[in-house]
Amino acid sequence: MKERGILLVVSGFAGSGKGTLMKELLKRYDNYALSVSATTRSPRPGEINGVDYFFVTTENFENMVAKNELLEHAKYVSNYYGTPRGYVEEQLQAGKDVLLEIEIQGALIIKEKYPEALLLFVIPPSVQEVYGRLKKRGTETKEVIASRMRRAKEEAEMIGRYDYLIINDDLDTCVQTLHHVVMSAHCAVFRNYDTINKIKRQFVDFLEGE
Amino acid sequence: MKERGILLVVSGFAGSGKGTLMKELLKRYDNYALSVSATTRSPRPGEINGVDYFFVTTENFENMVAKNELLEHAKYVSNYYGTPRGYVEEQLQAGKDVLLEIEIQGALIIKEKYPEALLLFVIPPSVQEVYGRLKKRGTETKEVIASRMRRAKEEAEMIGRYDYLIINDDLDTCVQTLHHVVMSAHCAVFRNYDTINKIKRQFVDFLEGE
């Protein structure tokens, strides 16, 4: 039986580069799968159903909520977003390490449902860098940037609830570090009781055979 | 100030190859230092004081014990062996990740004194492999091998007290995995409160400056 995968929940300030990190992990290593969210918003040009999102109707979405098929969900503006339990479970069972990029409230709900999930928070090397990255996007007004900075300040108060903190100063190092965290978690003794029990039985058999 | 290093305590069955693993870690990465034990036994040809062991007199050793200068110590046959606290502390303070190869009783004593130390147990892929490696050494009698196997069986009962389990089936993979464990531990949130507090202060300063 293949060992169950690890659920890695990734949050971070706007502009922390966490999206790029996820993409790089998927590209470099074959043990990862990205959790795909369900949403009621319309697909944008180029977005593919089942890859970028599972695009569903509001009725479908509310049905999923009612049937407890979402690990967490939230409403932004007038659209629902949620994490389908089925997809995550399927990937974990197949032995894939599942990456789930999600904001803090969602991450803490996931941790309640999957206490063995790893919560990882990504920060840029400095607050100036957070500001700089938001400004560089060029798509947001000064007021939107200021509100994102205030939000990031509030988010910083929650980092203590996470398991790991990663500073994204260099993409390559940061991708490696994320990979270290997941690979290390696979070796935790509490995830290897089957192996330990197997070796104990082997010793008994071996010594009886002597 | 340099971040404090991590103390990695490594145990494993006789023949688990843990000595080779330590050597490879030291060779491949520059973040490690190997803890050097103190002993009252005489140096063997080629052994260097301060590298292989700190060779001390029984009087010196008993003095170290009395002054609480050893993290743990034990007597094998008629010789003392112990882990000097000073060397380990010095290396940790210098930011080095300290490797300490030690048997189970010693490892558990270290964990009491350094609760943040990582305890890692190395096993060969199978019990047959443990036996095979002991036999291959060619230096031990059949009776000695049998007694080591019985000892390994007892040791297997203690793996649950460790933090990590590593299966040494391939040296290269195994060295990488050990490195994953240490690098990952550096990112644990509880080891990064200074960074988190710094970023919180930066946000306050930044938003006051707006």
Verify that A48 and A102 share a domain, yes or no: no
Longest dimension (CA), chain A: 78
Which of the four pLDDT bands, split at 50, 70 and 90, describes residue B199? Answer: very high
Give the residue from B3, B76, B85, B105 showing the smallest Cα distance to B37.
Answer: B85
pLDDT at B178 over 80: yes
Position B155 scores a pLDDT of: 92
Nearest-Cα distance to chain A for B189, in Å, is 5
Q: What percent of chain B has pLDDT over 70?
A: 99
Lowest mean pLDDT among A29-33, A47-51, A86-90, A206-210: A206-210
* A156-176 confidence digits (pLDDT tens): 999 999 999 999 989 999 999
Verify that B117 and B128 share a domain, yes or no: yes
Position A134 scores a pLDDT of: 81
Interface test with B, best of A165, A193, A204, A210 (most B CBs within 10 A): A165
Q: Which residue has the tokens 């990979």?
A: A179
Instruction: List the single residue in B with minimal CA-CA distance to A142.
Output: B210
Number of domains in chain A: 2
B126/A202 Cβ within 8 A: yes
pLDDT at A138 over 80: no
Which of the four pLDDT bands, split at 50, 70 and 90, describes residue B54? Answer: very high
Residues B81 and B74 sit within 8 Å (Cβ to Cβ): yes
Position A62 scores a pLDDT of: 96
Residues B74 and B106 sit within 8 Å (Cβ to Cβ): yes
B181/A166 Cβ within 8 A: no
Last residue of a domain, one of B72, B94, B116: B94
What is the ipTM, given to two decimal places?
A: 0.89
Other beta carbons within 10 angstroms of residue A107's beta carbon come to 22
Mean pLDDT of the A67-84 span? 93
Verify that B128 and B210 share a domain, yes or no: yes
Which of the four pLDDT bands, split at 50, 70 and 90, describes residue B80? Answer: very high
Nearest-Cα distance to chain A for B95, in Å, is 18
Position A15 scores a pLDDT of: 79
| Cα–Cα distance, A58 to B70 (Å, whole number) | 66
Which of the four pLDDT bands, split at 50, 70 and 90, describes residue A57? Answer: very high
Six-digit token string for A16: 């922390």
Which of the four pLDDT bands, split at 50, 70 and 90, describes residue B198? Answer: very high
Position A3 scores a pLDDT of: 87
Verify that A72 and A113 share a domain, yes or no: no
Residues A36 and A84 sit within 8 Å (Cβ to Cβ): yes
Q: Is this model's pTM higher than 0.95 or not?
A: no
Six-digit token string for A90: 């399927």
Give the residue from A139, A198, A200, A122 showing the smallest Cα distance to B196.
Answer: A122
Mean pLDDT of the B88-108 span? 95
Chain A residues in contact with B189 by the CB 8 A cut-off are: 121, 159-160, 162-165
Interface test with A, best of B8, B159, B179 (most A CBs within 10 A): B159
Residue B206 belongs to what H/E stretch?
helix B193-209
| Cα–Cα distance, B87 to A51 (Å, whole number) | 53
Nearest-Cα distance to chain B for A145, in Å, is 11
SS3 assignment, position A99? strand
Verify that B25 and B119 share a domain, yes or no: yes
A187/B180 Cβ within 8 A: yes
Which of the four pLDDT bands, split at 50, 70 and 90, describes residue B125? Answer: confident
Verify that B158 and B122 share a domain, yes or no: yes
The CATH number of residue B201's host domain is: 3.40.50.300
Instruction: List the single residue in A with minimal CA-CA distance to B118.
Output: A188
Give the nearest partner residue to B206 out of A127, A181, A184, using CB atoms: A127
Verify that B4 and B84 share a domain, yes or no: no
Last residue of a domain, one of A68, A94, A120: A94
Other beta carbons within 10 angstroms of residue B118's beta carbon come to 21
Chain A residues in contact with B176 by the CB 8 A cut-off are: 183
Verify that B144 and B67 share a domain, yes or no: no
Q: Which domain holds residue B82?
A: 36-94
DSSP state of A42: P
**In terms of C-beta density within 10 A (0-12 exposed, 13-18 middle, 19 or more buried), how is residue B68 classed?**
exposed
Q: Which residue has the tokens 């095979």?
A: B132
Give the residue from B114, B97, B85, B88 showing the smallest Cα distance to B28.
Answer: B97
Nearest-Cα distance to chain B for A35, in Å, is 22
Residues A71 and A77 sit within 8 Å (Cβ to Cβ): no
DSSP state of B191: G
pLDDT at A137 over 80: no
Verify that B102 and B126 share a domain, yes or no: yes
DSSP state of B122: E
Q: Measured between alpha carbons, how far apart are the two ends of chain B, in Å?
A: 30
Give the nearest partner residue to B153 out of A146, A185, A207, using CB atoms: A207
Verify that B75 and B102 share a domain, yes or no: no
Whole-angstrom CA distances from A96 to A22, A32, A173 are: 14, 5, 22
Which of the four pLDDT bands, split at 50, 70 and 90, describes residue B1? Answer: low
Mean pLDDT of the B53-79 span? 94
Give the Cα-Cα-Cα angle A19, A23, A28 (nearest 5 degrees): 145
Verify that A51 and A124 share a domain, yes or no: no
Verify that B121 and B131 share a domain, yes or no: yes
Last residue of a domain, one of B70, B94, B118: B94
The CATH number of residue B55's host domain is: 3.30.63.10
Nearest-Cα distance to chain A for B69, in Å, is 31
